[in-house]
Structure formats: C-alpha cells, structure tokens
Amino acid sequence: MEKKDINEVEKQMNLANDGLSDKEKTLFSDARPQVVPPVHKIFENFRNWARAQSLWMLAFGTGCGAIELRPLMTSRYDMSRYGIAPRPSPRQSSVFIIGGYASLKTIKRIVRSYEQMQGPKFVIALGSCTINGGMYYDSYYTINRIDHYIPVDIYVTGCMPRPESLLAGFNKLKERIRAGRADGMNKYAENFDWYKKNQKRIIKDWNMPDYNW
Amino acid sequence: MDIWTKIFYAVISVVIATIYGLALGGVVRKIYARVHGRYGPPVWQPFIDIIKTHAKRVAVSHGIMFYLGPVFRFAGGLGTYLFIPVIFGSAVFANFSMAGDLLLVMYFIFFGQLGMALGAGEGGHPYSPLGIARGLSQMTTFEVPFALSVIALAIQYHTLNITAIVAAQQGSILNWTLFTNPFAVVAAMISMLGMNMHSPFSIVLAPQEIPIGPPIEMNSSFLATLQTNRGLFVAAKLILFMNLYFGGATNLVVMIVKTFLIYMFSVFVGAAFPRFRPEQAMRFFLKWPTIIGIISIIFVAYL
Amino acid sequence: MIFSLILGFILLILGISMMLTRNNLIKIVIGFSIMDTGIHLIIVSIGYIRNRTAPIIDAAVNIKDATSQVVDPIPSALVLTAIVIGLAVTAVMLSFIVEMYKKTKSLSIDDYQELKW
Amino acid sequence: MVNPIYIIILSLITGFLLSIFDKIGRKLSMTIFYGVLSFNLFVMAIWFYRLLVVDVTPLLINTAGFVAPISINLRMGLQEAFILLFSNFIALFAAIYLFKKFKKAKISSLVLYLILSMGVNGLVMTRDLFNIFVFLEIVSISTFALITLEKNLKSLSAGFKYMLAGGVVSTFFLLGVIFVYYFSGNLNLDFINTGTFNNLGMIAVFMMSLGIFIELKPFPANGWALDVYEATDSGIVSVIAVVNSAAIFYVFYKIMPMIPNNLLQLLGYAGLLTFVLSSLMGLKQENAKRLLGYSSIGQMGLLISAVVFTTNAPEFISILIVGGFLVNHLLAKAGLFWITGIVKKEKIADWGVLNHSKPLLILFGLLLFALASLPPFPGFWAKWEFIRWLIMEKMTVVAVLVLIGSLCEIAFLFRWFNLAVKKEDLQESQIETSHSMNLPVAFLAGVLAVIPVIIMKYFYQIDLIHLAPVIALIVIFIIEIIPSKIKGILSLITLGTYGYYLYPLLSGLQLFFAVIFIIGGGIILISTFNRKGLNQNFYGLLLMMILSLGNLLIAKGYLEFFLNWEFMTISSYLLFLRGKNARNSSFVYLIFSIAGAYLLMLGFAFAPAVSSDMVLLKSITQIQLPLVSIILMSLGFLIKSGSLGVHIWVPDAYAEAEDDVTALIAGILSKVGILGFFVLAVSAISHKPDIDIFYWIGWIGVLSTIIGAFLAVFQEDMKRLLAYSSMSQIGYIVASVAMLSHLGLVTALYLSFNHLLFKGLIFLAIAGVIYRTKTRNMYEMGGLIKKMPISYISVLIGIIAVSGVPPLSGFGSKWLLYSAFIEKGWYLQSGVLFFASAVSFLYLYRLIHSVFLGQLKYEHQNVKEAPIWFILPQLIFIIALMTISTFPNLIIQPLNAIVGNYIDSSIVIDGYKVTSSLGYWNGNQVMMVTMGVFMVPLLLLLLLIGKTQKVKQFNIVFAAERPESPQTTHVAHNMYAHYKKVLGGWGKPRILSFWNGVAEWTHSLGNLFRQFYTGNGQTYILHIILYMVVLYIILGV
C-alpha cells in the first residue's frame, strides 16, 4: 500500500515530457517545479529587501517594447541607481520584462526563459498588448493575455509606455517585493498544470520538456 | 604562534580584504557611471547583489564538478590571498606567506581558474568553453610580460620571497621598484590590464558576444560565491602588485590608498577603450609588453 | 713479337668497340670472339722468344735442350685453356640468343632492357 | 683426414657420371647429388673444427707431384675452411630449397650445380692466378647456364647481360694475369712480389685487381648484377649472391697482398661508395628481389671497405669485423632470397600476404633484423667494432658514410618489413610452400641465432644477463599459447625477480631510474591484464623492453650499454608496430631511433676508454669526454627524448601505438634519454667541455617545451595532444639537466619521477576512455564525467600535476625549475618556460573538457567506467602522487642525496620546507592551507544554497531555444581557432615539413643515381670500361 503511494507520488513528481522523442527524454530533466515556502519572517523580509534592491533584468527583448528598455540604461534615465542591471542569462536574472505583444513564436521562448530563471522571479508586462492584445486583439498570431501563460507581477500600460512609466513600474514592483507579495514563482508551481495546459493549447510544436529547468 | 591564532588572524584578514575588494567594485561601477554621465548604483550595490543572489530559493546544478567549480574558484582566491603577506610587519596580515614564495602565489592563481573552468565546463553550455578558451588563451599571453617582470624582480632583489621584496623597497619612495626598475613595472601593469579583464581586454565575459561566457550557467549561491571571490581576488592581485612594485604597505590605510590607485589605472583604461578582438588582445601582449619585459630583464641583469 | 702483341691489342680494342657499338646480338658475340682472339694472341706473344720453336716435345726438340729451344711453354698452355673457356662462353651466349630470339623474335639488344633501375 | 682435393675430384666425377645414374632413376641421381653436397659440407666442417680447435697446421696440396711454384697448389687454412664451410652450407641448403625444381629439371641442372659448387671450392682454395681464372670461368659458365633454370625472357636477357659483362671483366682479368706472369715469371700467389714491378707491371696488377673487384659489383659497374638478382630464380640467385660472391670476395682477399696500397685504399673507398649509394638507391625500390640485390651489392661494398680498412687491425678485430659482416650477409641474404621465392610477390607492397603464415613472417623478420645489423646478430658486433676502428684510425668520414649507408639500408629494409607486417592483403592469396623450402630458411635463421651467443661468450665475455631481454622474448614466444593474463602474471613475476636480482647491484642514480623503469613498468603492466585472448607477441616484447632498460643501468663499458640500447630500440619499435595503423609511425620511430643509436655509437667511439669493472653510468662520469663525443651522444639522447627538431616521431608513434603501450612509452621509455643526458651532465660538471654545449642543449630543451605546447594546443586526437605534451614536459627536463647545477639536476630527477606519475596516470585513464568509446578524437566524446567518474578524477589529478598548480607535486617541479633557472642566470629561458607552462593550460583544459565535460553524445549513453585493470594502476599512481605532494621530502630528500654525490647541494631541506637561495616552498603546508581554503567556501555554499535541483545536460540556457543535438552543442572541434591566428607561423608543424623534405630529397637522390642502370647490356659494358679508366685516372692523380 505504502509502496504504491510512493510510486504514485513519484509519477506525479515526474513530468511526462511528451513533446520529446524517447532519445531526447534522457537529455532533459523531468522534475516538476516545486513550491518553496519562504523562510522565517524576519529573515525573509531582509531577503526581500535585498531582492528589491538588486533587480537584474533579463536582457531578452521579446517584442517592440524592448526598444524602451535601452533608454533606461542611458544617462538620462539611469536605471542602475535603483539597483537595476541588465543580465544576459536567465539563470542569473530575477526580472523578466515582456516587451509588448507576444506572438505564438515568442511565447514559446518566453515560457522557456521564464522557467529557466531561478525563483523568486518577477515579471513586468509592458504595454497594452500584454494585457488584452491591444491593437492586435484579433490577430491570429498574437497572445492576448500574457498572464494565462506565466504569472505577471506588474502591468505597465500604454502603447508604448515611456521609460518613465517603466521606472514607475519597477518601483511598484519593488514595493510588492518588499511586501512579500511578489511570489509568482510559487504561484506558477502551484498552478503548474493549468499554466501548462494553456501554454500547450496554443503552442503546437511543443518540442521542449514540460518544464525547462 | 600557534595555529589557531594564525587561523583567527587569517579570518580577519580575509574578511577585510573581501569587503574592501567588493567595495572597490562598487566604486568602480560608480566611476564608470560618472564617466558615462550617470548617477550610478550605490557603492554597496555589490553586497546587495551577493545577498540577493544567495537569497534565490532554488539552485540548478549540473553535477558535482559544476557544484565544486565556484568552490574551487573561491578557494583559489582565498589561497592566492592567503599566500601573500598583505601588510609589511603586521602579524595579523602576514597570512600564510611562510608556506611559499612568489612562485606559489603566481601558480595558485591558476588553481581557481582551472577549477572554475572545469565547473563551467560541466554546465554543458557552449558559451562556457568558448569563454574559457578565450580566457585561457589571453592568460597565456599576459602571463608572459608579467613573468618576465617577476624574473626581473628576482634578479634585482635576489629573492622570490615577497616579504623580502617588500623589505627591500622600504626606506624611501625611490626604493620602490617603480623607480628602480620602471620597465618591469610598465610590463607588469600592462599585463594587469589583461588580468583584470577590463576593456579593452574584456573578451572573456564579453556580454554582447558570448553572454558573460564561462559562468553563464552559474546561478544562485554558485554565482554569489563567484561574486564574493571576485572581490577578494581583485584585492589579492592588487596587494600583490603593490608589494612587488609599489613598496608594499606598512598599514591598512597605505594599503588601501595604494591599491586603489593601482586599480584606477586599469579602470581608467577600461573606461576609455573599446574591446579588442581576441586575437588582437593576445597579439598585443606578445608584442610591446613582452619587449618591455625583456628590456627590464636586460636592464637589471646586464646593465 | 711486338707486332703480334700490337695486333692482339688492336683486335682486343676492335672487339670491345664492336661489343659497344653493334646493335645486333650476334654481332656483339662476334665482337666478343674477336676480343677473345685478341687476348689469346697477346698471351701467345708474351711467351714468344725469338728464334725458338713451339714447346712441343717431339722429334724436333730434344728433351734435354728443351729449355733453350722452345718458347715459354706456360703461356701456350694457358692459351689452350683460355681458348676452350672462350669457346664455352661463346657457345652459351649463342644458346642464350637462340632462346631469346624464340621469345621475342628480335635480335636487337635494345629490345632487352625492360629490367632496369 | 679427408684431403679437400677430393671435393673437387668427387664433384667432377659425379658431375660426369650423374647423367648415367639418372638413366637408372632420378632418385638415385638426386641421392648422389645431395650426398656429394653433404660430403663437401662435412669435409669443410671437419677441417674447420680441426683448424680452429685442434689447431692443426694449414694444409698445402700440391698437384702433379711438384711443389709450387712449378705446379698449381691449393691451400686449406682456417680462413678457407671458414669461407667454404659457409659456402658449402648455403650451397647444400640452396639445393635442398631447390629440391622440387631439381626433381623436375633436366639432369644437366644438377650437374651444373655440382660443377658450380666444385668451382667455388676450387676458387677459394687455389693459390694459382691462372687457376683462379679457370675456376672463375667454371663458376661463371655454370652460373650462366643455371640462370636458365627458368626460361623466361627476363632471366634470359639478364643472363645475357651478365655474360657480356662477365666476359669483358674476365678478359681484363686474364690480361692482367698474363702480364703479371710476364713481369714476375710466376703465377703462384705466394711467390709473386709486385713490389718489384715497374709502371707497366703496375698496370697489369691494376687490371687483374680490377677484374676481380668488378666481379664484386662496385657502383656503377654493377647494373648486370642487379638485373640478374631481379630476374633469376630465388634458389639460384641465392647461390649467385652468396656462394659466388663469398668465393670471389675471398679471391680478392687472396690477391690483396699483391695490390699496391694506394690502389687498395681506392678500392676500399669504391666499396664504401657502393655501399652508400646502393643503400640510397634501394630506397626507391619496389621490387623485392631487386631490393635485395641492392642490399647485396651494398653489403659486398661494405665488406670490401671493411677488409681494406682493417688490414692493420689486430687479428681479433679484423676477424670479428670481416667475419661478422660476411657471415651476416651470407646467411641473411640467402634466407631472404629464399623467402622471396616462397612468397612469390614481386612488389614489396604485396607482401602483406606474409601475414597468412606467421612462422614465415617471424623468420623473415629475423633475417631482416640480421641484415640490418641489429643486435644480437653478427653484423651488429661487426659494425660496432668497424666504427670504433675507423674512428681510432681517424677515418671519421668513412665511419659517418658507413652509418649513413646503414641507415638508408635499414630504411628500405624496414619499410618492407612494415609492409609485410601491416599491409592488408587484399587478394587474400595464400602462400604455397613446402617443407623443403621452409626448412633451409628456418635452419639458417637458427644458425644466425646461435652465432651471437658464441660471439658474446668467446669474443667479449659479456655477462649473460645482457641476453636476458632476448631470452625473455623467446621464452614468452614459446609459451605463446597460454592465455594472456597468465602471461601477464608471469611477466610481472619476471619483473619482480629481475628487480630483486638488480637491487643489490644498484645505488643512487641507478636505483632511482630502476624504480622508474621496473616499478613504473610493473604498475603500468597491470593495465595490460585487460587484454583478452592469447594476445600474442606482446608480453615478450614488453619484457624485452623493460629488461633492456634495466640492463642499461648495470651495463659495464660502452658495448654492453649500446647493446641494451639497441635491444630497447628494437623492442619498442616492435611494440609500436603492434598498433593498428602504426605502419608509418613505427617506421619513422625506427629510423629516428636508429639514427640516434648510430650517433651514440659514434659518440662512444670518440670517447676514451672506461674502466670495465664499473658500470658505465659511473665510469663515464670520471673521464673527460671530448667535445665531439658529447655532441654526438647528446644528439642521440635528444632524438630518444623527442626534443625539438627531432621530435617528429613522437606524436605519430604515441598516437598509433596501442593505448596501454603508449602509457608505458610515455611513462618509462621517454626517461631513457634523460638518463643519458643526466650522466653526460654529471660528467661535464667535473670535466668542463671546451665549449658550453649544454647552454645550447638547454635552449633546445626550452624551445621543445614551448613548441611542443603550441602544437599540443591544436590537436584533435587526444593521444597526439598528450604526445606533444610529453615532448613539452621532456623539454623541461632536458633544459634543467643542461643547466649543470645542483638545483637543475634535482629538478630534472623530480620532474622525471613526476612525469612518470602523471603521464602514466593520464595515459592510462585515456586508454580506458578509448577502450570504451573506440575513438581517439576528442570532439567525438564529451560529458563522460557522468559515465566514467574515476577516469575523470585521474585525468583531473593528472592535469593539475602537469600544469603545476599547487598543491600537487607538479608545483614542486615548477618551483624547483624556476628557482634553478633564475639561480643559473637563464632568465629569458625561464620566461619562455613560463609561457609554455601557461600554454599547457590550454591543451590540458581542452583534453579534460572535450572528453569529460560538456555534452554527452547519444552513442555514449551506455558507456561504462573503464575496466578495473585500467583503474587499478591509476589508483596506485594517484596515491603515489598525493603522497609525494603532501610529503614532498619523501622524494626531494633522496634526490638531493643522489645529486649531492656529484655536486654540492644548494638547497636546505628543513622538515617539509625546502629553501633555495631565492625562495622557499613548504609543500606540506601548502597542501594543508589548500585543504583549508577549499573547505571554507564549500561549507559556506552548503550552508547558504537553496533547494538544489539537479538537472540534465540539455537543461541549459540556449538563447531561449533548446539545443538541437549533443554534437552541435559540444564545443570541442578546433577549439583554439583564435589562438592559431595569434601564433601565426609558430603553431604550424614546420619541422615536420623539413623532415618530409629531407626524405623527399633523399629518395630523389637515390632515384637520380639509379638512372645509371639503363637496362642496356652495352651500357653496362661501357660502365665497366669507363669504371676502370676513371679509377686509373684517379689513381694516377
């Protein structure tokens, strides 16, 4: 009886990875993402402060909004004074900025990159397109609501939002983080099956593992 | 001196050096920002970054060597630092310099590099070996002028004992190697540009070409370990250069002033120049600095 | 004696030059024979002593005075052997030529140089 | 006692009667035929025995009842008996070899053969000039006729050319004889005094000598002989090349006292020229029999120059030289000609067919080794003494030319051997043979194998331990049918016993190298237990190599040392040859090694004598070596150690050898050059040479280090990479020895020991990897750390030690090295060394990354850890490495003591701390601190890290995509492309191109010279005539 339980739990733990051929299955990890609860409160507050003060954003321009990220680095807006820095690898970054509309092609990369970031991780969705599709609301190829696919912490509206509003969004994010409310990572793990179902519904050529570690 | 006191001293020494090194990093960022006309991050930003990186809830590991890579790297930094006598005449900052001389320090630098290269290699990302290949190749070239300069020192002072080299430079500012053997200092300082991997020699991390290269797969505490080491290692290298070429230090303040100024040299060069292509960078080291290094040897040995 | 010696050498040289210049195998062998004859003549001339007779002990030569009546007998003895040998060599050569001719139907020495280098 | 005149009488009578007997039956005639030949041999054997052992006086046989000079007389002395013993021996066995042909042939062939044999016997024994002519013609005519045993166009035309040339030559000889008679009034050799001749008489002597000399086929008047060798039946040609040649050679020897000295010297040089040029021309040969023909005329030339140049030598030496060359040539050449008849392949490229018959292949190899004058065959001793004699007589140029000729000869012989052993036989043809053909060859080889024992025992009184390598080879060969593992255990036991025997004889330096050779060899030998099946021809060679290495340490005097050096060369060459594609690589190795050995031989010849009751390694340090000797020996050792300029054998040989063999070669064999250097250096410390030659050797070492490292960086094949790495490491050692300082010598020994440990370790680990993955290309591997963790750890520890990163012992060597260099004042050199040491990181990282890290390939998903037999020795090496790293004084102290025997110590060892005049190093403390600083971050990391998720190889950041396949994701091929750009020309193998050029030019030169042989009979006659003219002109000048 006990043994069977363990087997079932294990089955639940491991992902099917149906999108991969048998040969490739051995090359990808099939572990499920797990909810990692926060540590003791005081300690977690300190960590949240540090997380808020050091936001490394993934240098991945997913849409037209990426053009707005460049001015942020310049001397005019200088995001570095807020502890924000670009980082080329998702492994090392904590903020993912969805730069505007996400096409079917991009969403696959977005999901992959998001899953490869180590939690806690935060998402800022930029522009109207990410909220409801914006001017592409009826496009056959554009994602309307990005938070059906990955959890979003902050939406910055506009088409396009100016760097100032982006900075405001960052500050809002910082507040959320400090308050301990920006927990998209655990949310994603908790509702993993739902997110995955949504993702797989629109991404037809699913040739990745179910969770991209 | 019993071993526990020694270890206690070493801990103090290491902590101070690490903090100093990280702060130096913050200052550099600030300076870069000012050169760009920005405000820049706070000086303590490196510390926050390290805490934040440690605060990641999940770490992805590719295997045991990947796990140990940052450990090797940090151990390399620690070891390098611990084999250098930091402050002349101080028991606390003498570290473990009695275990070996300058050659030990020069070779211990490789310990961390090799370990890190192996750890990054197990990560399996193609950019890691690309970056490592660049880094190792560049290392072979900037080591040449540096080695020549060190040989010149050995000829000049008849010793490879760092403490003895510092002792020989005491007394007057004119006793510094900088004035007694300027060629050796020039060669070594140019090779330091390569060692610190600021532009124009920043071909290893090169964010635009091979997104930060070797540590691309490093995350969470692995990355934090690397960042901590970066602070310590910079401090160690600067102290080594200070000891060898700029008369060493008799107290902490002198040490901080001197190493800061030494570091500023490479920072200013870095802020002012764009990046070389790999083979340009390497050929550069094999030309002028090497010739200067040879001149420095001729200068002390045969003139 | 001198005359026959010179004649011998002339024959020798003639024979050699014939061996060197003729293309036809048979002619080369003839050259060889001429050379052989030349050398025989030389041998005989060397043993010749003026006014003496052949070194054959018969009615004309007294055994007791033989040493003062006949020419040096050794070259004469040698030349007999040499003639026999020369004859044998010539015979073998000719038999070779016959066999070679059977194979290629050619008597030109130029057709027999596939073995080289 | 049988009078040898009966040989002639009996042969003549049977010759005439044989056809009558044949009418009764072929069996009868054959029986009589072989009976007579056996009788001849028997008579000569008895005479030889009596003359040699019983010591009777030589017999003079007078004919026709008169004493010479009135009558013709024959002589039977020791020399005649010796020549005829072998001639009749070959004649009998050639007849046995021809048994089948004779059975079918006309009876006249048998008659001719008997007459030929008779002629040869007469030719050797007679003392009468004209009689020589007669016997010469008898031999020639019967030979001409025997050539037609096979009546094809080739043999006919060759025979015809032979007749033309022979006719002209004998005419000149006769002319000479007759004029000699004219001037001396005599035909008996013992009564002619050419000293009283006038100029005209001298011309006669000239003609006569040249007549005989040209019969010995000097270059270029020897085209006819080559054609005969190529075209004639193997059995007959063996008689022509061996029996006839030996007899004519003896005739030359007989008339030598008549030849004026200046002419004799000229002939000696002509012989030498023949030897050198025919060896050179042999390089271009592709036809097996013609190749042997070139070798034959070369050997005759060598023999002539040997007999001419050793006329003043003591009897002991001249017997050994001339007799050695002669017997060697007679036996080996006859055997090889017979084998060509058995194999029936014209082109040497087709000789792979020999693989179908192992015994025949081994016989072939044996004879070839003998012909190449390799030990222990007679030619080896002859060459050794000849070279020494020439050097003693200040005939250096001759000695060098002899060696160059020998090298060329070895080149073409072993190219042939390699083709026979390695070339695949595409046609799958079988060798048709019979016992009557095999038996003579085998018997010959047996005789050849026994002679060395006689030489070693009676001529030199060499300790028979120096035969141990060969004995080991033979014993293992005999028990070849038992399984590999048992043979391996037996080999280990042998090594143990040998070590036990050796131990009391050794001390200091010898002991150190004995540890490397025997214990190191034993450990690596464990890895060979992995071999399956019978594994033939392996352990014998392995034992031979290790035993000869050990014997080097106890060799007394130059000869014993050199003997073992050659054994080592041969055995390692054959070991290399076992590799699958090792045909070219082992050939290059052999050529370089033999060249090195010759240089060594020359070096020894120039060196003054050493006391024979002390081992050479000690005695040579007590004498003042002349500069030339040091240079030559150094060159020899440089080749063996694979230093820059002569390193090109290294990568291929290492790469193509079997994998465990490579470990052995890299770990052990590479140290033997160092041993030599070390001894030279010690000698030079106490007896300073005039020029600081070691300064330049030091530079060679330094440049080998850097160039080796550069080349290693760009290799794709991991064994080649490690081979270049070895070259680089050995460069360090050579350079440190060359410093001639205490610290330098300590460094060299320390490095040598370390090199054994880490290179043994890495090569064994790599061998395990290759065993599992079946490839040597690094880019075909990757990610094996998950599958072969122990091998990975071995390689990791190995590369840390190679690169000199503390805390492992590699750093000790680097510390010693730089301290020594700076102390010595070699500043720029140490800068270069530092560069090389940095470059070593490049190739070491490439090795470990491309193989073990990065992406695991699909085909290696199921690869297992290397077999235990590979792992076991690795573990031993790791333990040893860690021990001497933690407790460096375990090794430094004894080394300090060893070097302290020769030069005052310059370092202070206090506990674990070593202090030089420049700095200090405490290996133990470094180890402890490193352990400490390693633990701190590890604990910190364990404490601070969050939940750790272990992922797989494709879980990488890949620019938001997923990797396509492991092959396209693994960075390995051409990994340092950018570095190639940096180095420009320095990364290119230029020296290889240089040596390729040398080979090309040598072959072209050989090709140029052989254009003389146009194939036209008339040209050959012209050559003969011109040859006489030219020689006469030279003589006149």
Q: What is the pLDDT of residues D585-635, one digit of tens each?
A: 999 999 999 999 999 999 999 998 888 788 888 888 888 889 899 999 999
Confidence class for position A101, pLDDT limits 50, 70, 90: confident
**The domain C2-112: what is its CATH number?**
1.10.287.3510
All partners of chain C with 3 or more CB pairs under 8 angstroms:
D
Better pLDDT: C84 or A6: C84
Residue of chain A nearest D964, judged by CA positions: A24
Max intra-chain CA distance, chain D:
119
Q: Please name every residue paired with D60 in a beta bridge, in sequence order, or none if there are none.
A: D75
Cross-chain residue pair A91–B42, CB shorter than 8 Å: no
Out of 3.40.50.12280, 1.10.3720.10, 2.60.40.10, 3.40.50.300, the CATH code matching A56-213 is 3.40.50.12280
Smallest CA–CA distance, residue D200 to chain C, in Å, is: 14
Pick from B56, B124, B132: which is nearest to D946 by CB?
B56
Other beta carbons within 10 angstroms of residue D405's beta carbon come to 25
Better pLDDT: D692 or B260: B260
Per CB-CB distance under 8 Å, the chain C contacts of D153 are: 100, 103-104, 112, 114
Write out residues 66-105 of A within 8 Å (CB-CB) of D: 89-91
pLDDT of residue A96: 92
Cross-chain residue pair A26–D952, CB shorter than 8 Å: yes
pLDDT of residue D462 exceeding 90, the answer is: no
pLDDT of residue D508: 85
| Closest C-alpha among D376, D417, D381, D680 to residue D548 | D376
Cross-chain residue pair A207–D962, CB shorter than 8 Å: yes
| Closest C-alpha among D304, D247, D245, D246 to residue D274 | D304
Task: Sketch the domain layout of chain D as residue ranges.
Answer: 1-259, 263-459, 462-934
Q: B137 in contact with A at a CB cutoff of 8 Å?
A: no
Q: Tell me, what DSSP letter sits at residue A154? A: E
Q: B266 in contact with D at a CB cutoff of 8 Å?
A: no
**pLDDT per residue over D523-573, tens digit each?**
999 999 988 888 888 899 999 999 999 999 999 889 999 999 999 999 999
Per CB-CB distance under 8 Å, the chain B contacts of D838 are: 139-140, 143-144
Q: A197 in contact with D at a CB cutoff of 8 Å?
A: no
Per CB-CB distance under 8 Å, the chain D contacts of A36 are: 946-947
pLDDT of residue D486 exceeding 60, the answer is: yes
Per CB-CB distance under 8 Å, the chain B contacts of A59 are: 207, 211
Pick from A24, A34, A112: which is nearest to D960 by CB?
A112
Q: B207 in contact with A at a CB cutoff of 8 Å?
A: yes
pLDDT of residue D580 exceeding 70, the answer is: yes
pLDDT of residue A12 exceeding 90, the answer is: no
Per CB-CB distance under 8 Å, the chain D contacts of C112 are: 153, 157, 160-161, 1015, 1017
Q: Are D269 and D305 in contact (CB under 8 A)?
A: yes
Confidence class for position D728, pLDDT limits 50, 70, 90: very high
Residue D867 gets the label, from left (phi > 0), alpha (psi -120 to 50) or beta, of: beta
Confidence class for position D52, pLDDT limits 50, 70, 90: confident
Q: Are D219 and D277 in contact (CB under 8 A)?
A: yes
DSSP string, D205-271: HHHHHHHHHHHT--TTTTHHHHHHHHHS-HHHHHIIIIIIHHHHHHHHHHHGGGS-HHHHHHHHHHH
Cross-chain residue pair C25–D231, CB shorter than 8 Å: no
Confidence class for position B208, pLDDT limits 50, 70, 90: low
**pLDDT per residue over D732-760, tens digit each?**
999 999 999 999 999 999 999 999 999 99
What tokens appear for B151 in the block?
Answer: 């040989």
Pick from D164, D1013, D1016: which is nearest to C19 by CB?
D164
Cis peptide before D376 (omega within 30 of 0): yes
Q: In whole angstroms, what is the distance from residue D693 CA to residue D673 CA? A: 17
| CB pairs < 8 Å spanning A and B | 83
Stretch D180-209: mean pLDDT, rounded?
85
Cross-chain residue pair A89–B41, CB shorter than 8 Å: no
Cross-chain residue pair B38–A78, CB shorter than 8 Å: yes
Confidence class for position B210, pLDDT limits 50, 70, 90: confident
pLDDT of residue A10 exceeding 80, the answer is: no
Q: B34 in contact with A at a CB cutoff of 8 Å?
A: no
Write out residues 104-163 of A within 8 Å (CB-CB) of B: 118-120
Q: By three-state DSSP, how is residue A122 classified?
A: strand
Stretch B68-77: mean pLDDT, rounded?
92
Pick from D145, D163, D1013: which is nearest to C117 by CB?
D1013
Confidence class for position D72, pLDDT limits 50, 70, 90: confident
All partners of chain B with 3 or more CB pairs under 8 angstroms:
A, D
Q: Are B244 and B150 in contact (CB under 8 A)?
A: yes
Cross-chain residue pair D786–B104, CB shorter than 8 Å: no
From the candidates A72, A117, A118, which should be mutated to test the interface with B, based on the most B CB atoms within 10 A?
A118
Q: In whole angstroms, what is the distance from residue C65 CA to residue D856 CA? A: 112
Q: Which helix or strand (DSSP H or E) is residue D59 part of?
A: strand D59-62
Q: D128 in contact with C at a CB cutoff of 8 Å?
A: no
Per CB-CB distance under 8 Å, the chain B contacts of D930 are: 75, 79, 111
pLDDT of residue D472 exceeding 80, the answer is: yes
Q: B7 in contact with A at a CB cutoff of 8 Å?
A: no
Per CB-CB distance under 8 Å, the chain D contacts of A209 are: 955
pLDDT of residue A1: 43
Per CB-CB distance under 8 Å, the chain D contacts of B71 are: 934, 937-938, 941
Cross-chain residue pair B211–A185, CB shorter than 8 Å: no
Cross-chain residue pair B40–A50, CB shorter than 8 Å: no
D and A touch per CB criterion (3+ pairs under 8 A): yes
Q: Please name every residue paired with C70 in a beta bridge, in sequence order, or none if there are none.
A: C53
Give Rg (Cα) of chain D: 32
Write out residues 112-131 of B within 8 Å (CB-CB) of D: 113-114, 117-118, 121-126, 128-130
Cross-chain residue pair A36–B58, CB shorter than 8 Å: yes
Task: Report phi then psi at D375, rounded to 5.
Answer: -70, 155
Pick from D828, D846, D949: which is nearest to B294 by CB?
D828
Q: Are B132 and B213 in contact (CB under 8 A)?
A: yes
Q: Are B156 and B178 in contact (CB under 8 A)?
A: no
Cross-chain residue pair D227–C100, CB shorter than 8 Å: no
Q: D964 in contact with A at a CB cutoff of 8 Å?
A: no
Q: In whole angstroms, what is the distance from residue C13 CA to residue C42 CA? A: 12
Q: A43 in contact with B at a CB cutoff of 8 Å?
A: no
Q: In whole angstroms, what is the distance from residue C89 CA to residue D163 CA? A: 8
**Tokens 């102390």 sit on residue:** D823
Cross-chain residue pair A85–B41, CB shorter than 8 Å: yes
Stretch D667-674: mean pLDDT, rounded?
90
Q: Are D776 and D718 in contact (CB under 8 A)?
A: yes
Q: Tell me, what DSSP letter sits at residue B169? A: T
Q: C74 in contact with D at a CB cutoff of 8 Å?
A: yes
All partners of chain D with 3 or more CB pairs under 8 angstroms:
A, B, C
Q: B155 in contact with D at a CB cutoff of 8 Å?
A: yes
pLDDT of residue D337: 92
Pick from B103, B123, B294: which is nearest to D814 by CB?
B103
Confidence class for position D434, pLDDT limits 50, 70, 90: confident
Which residue ranges in chain C fall short of pLDDT 70?
none
pLDDT of residue D264: 92
pLDDT of residue A7: 54
| CB pairs < 8 Å spanning A and D | 42
Per CB-CB distance under 8 Å, the chain D contacts of B160 are: 818-819, 822, 918-919
Confidence class for position D916, pLDDT limits 50, 70, 90: confident
Q: Tell me, what DSSP letter sits at residue B247? A: -
Other beta carbons within 10 angstroms of residue A132's beta carbon come to 11
**Tokens 């060249």 sit on residue:** D595
Provide the percentage of residues in chain D whose pLDDT is more than 70: 99
Cross-chain residue pair C28–D1017, CB shorter than 8 Å: yes
Cross-chain residue pair D962–A116, CB shorter than 8 Å: no
DSSP string, A21-70: -HHHHTTS--BPP-------HHHHHHHHHHHHH-EEEE----SGGGGGHH
pLDDT of residue D711 exceeding 70, the answer is: yes
